[in-house]
Structure 1
Amino acid sequence: MNKPIVVTIEETKIENKDVKTLRFHYHRDVSPGQFFMIWIPGVDEIPLSSSFTRENLKGVTFKRVGEATRQLFKLDKGDKIGIRGPYGNGFKLFGEHILFVGGGTGIATITPAAEEALKMGIEATIILGVKTKDELFFEERLKENGAKVYIATDDGTRGYKGFASELAIKLLKEEEFSLIITCGPELMMKQLLLNRGDIPLQASLERYMKCGIGVCGHCCIGRGLRVCVDGPVFNHEVLEKLEEFGVYTRDASGRR
């Protein structure tokens, strides 16, 4: 599992001008919240959360922000990439009604979890938070699967005007939830942690990763926790003890 398996891209979809989904055949089971190490030949290897699973067809969804994702964005059906994983722990789904909050590309991480919850007979309410309406994706996919979807845009071009965390706090006061699941900007997730009341919370964190198997130490947080093996999903009990959560991250050299 620690050597890349070369696969052929079977399907691609442009979700918006900067976000794209790639799907490929991969035989290993994947749980919502786990991630792959994606090797772009001749470029780099980067971690990407699973965004789609249907038997042996798996998928990742990403935003072009750096050299690796820009090159990955150029690939099309028939091109090849390398896959390692899946790695890390996934979301633990339980209860009668779960609130899912996704910000930006964090939407891609929470969507498979919401779909799995619906299959389990759990009611799913999802907040999709983006800067502007043109950045939305997966809305129709979630609605087609039976989720109740709310939209929050920073500029008010669609749905609630403001941050996804603000809308989530409002819903937490109006409805009963068994669990909160979130992925996105840490400031957003930190607000959910601070305002969760007594509702359990699970958050998927993003950190700089190179190995994906707990060896290199680039993704360490707190006192010896490694996002790649101890996470990327952490519960509220762990997050409340992390001094750096929602405050700072580290670069490739490990500096704040």
Structure 2
Amino acid sequence: MSLPVGESTSERAWEGNPIRFPMGGAGGLPRAARVVRVIPESERVKTLILDLRLPAQPGQFVMVWLPDYEEKPFSLAEADPVGLTVARVGPFSTALHRLEPGDPVWIRGPLGHGFTLEGRRILLVGGGYGVAPLAFLAREALARGMEVTALTAARTATDVLYAERFRALGARVVVATEDGSAGERGRAPEVARRLLEREAYDALYGCGPEGMLEALRTLAAERGLPAQLSYEAYMRCGIGLCGSCEREGRVLCLEGPVLRFAPDGGPPEEGTGFA
């Protein structure tokens, strides 16, 4: 097992130029890939499609690396080929936004435990760019004949992500915006509550900001529904060494990022992935 990122490096060459990148632990050494397509999702969100295919499951993540930067974790929007949905929020994501087709990027993974499909009729709730792994999940669920409702929530209409992508997959789509500029007015948990009051579902899945997930956790327990929630956490190493992503006794990079909650609202269990 390697040391945390930044404490140990390995040297390889890319087209004759020496580069230094983090040594691999879980997930192996970073693999070089190239960007093949860039999809603008909104003013500050892009999806990068790579020439890399991974045996990953919805909810798993990868560590992404560029020279002169530390690795950062990203959920998989797709795995075959790899798709990464990136919001521009800091120096690293800005560097990723500058990538063009043909540019290299390094990927380590897949890592973590993902979602488990259960029931026949499921509700997916995504806040902001938290919808990315849920699109991957929707694809797999629909392929297995399940009924999928995807709630994509954002602050305003210009921030709504993946609505057309969910529709193209065959999911029923509900859009929610805080200002009411598109779809239903309200935050994701409020609109999810209204859906659950009107309709019956077998399970609730969510990904987004922590406050949203905690509200969904409470809502699922109130309704007696099993819930699976993918937590966004800072993961410096991705292999359980640094302790930066511990939550309620669970190390998210190893036992998550998806945590499962029983219908009685008990303590979280680690995700198990698909059978």
Match of 2:218 among 194, 219, 222: 194
Map 1:127-146 onto structure 2 (within 5 A): 127-146=151-170
Q: Aligned residues: percent identity?
A: 38
Residue 232 (str. 1) matches residue 226 (str. 2): no
Structure-2 residue corresponding to 1:185: 209
**Kept in 1: contact 2:54–2:79 (CA 8 A):** no
Match of 1:216 among 214, 227, 242: 242
Q: In terms of Rg, which structure is larger?
A: 2
Structure 2: stretches of 5+ with no match in the other structure = 1-26, 269-275
Residue 16 (str. 1) matches residue 42 (str. 2): yes
Tell me how many residue pairs correspond in the alignment. Answer: 239
Q: Which amino acid aligns with 1:194?
A: T
Map 1:1-256 onto structure 2 (within 5 A): 1-54=27-80, 57-196=81-220, 197-223=223-249, 225-237=250-262, 240-241=266-267
TM-score normalised by L of structure 1: 0.90
TM-score normalised by L of structure 2: 0.84
Distance 1:41 1:113 in 2: 31
Structure 1: stretches of 5+ with no match in the other structure = 243-256
4+ residue runs of structure 1 moved beyond 3 angstroms? 237-242
Distance 1:236 1:6, change over 3 A: same
Distance 1:211 1:191 in 2: 28
Distance 2:164 2:54 in 1: 27
Q: Give the deviation of 1:241 after TM superposition.
A: 3.2
Q: CA RMSD in A?
A: 1.4
Distance 1:162 1:86 in 2: 34
**Kept in 2: contact 1:206–1:227 (CA 8 A):** no
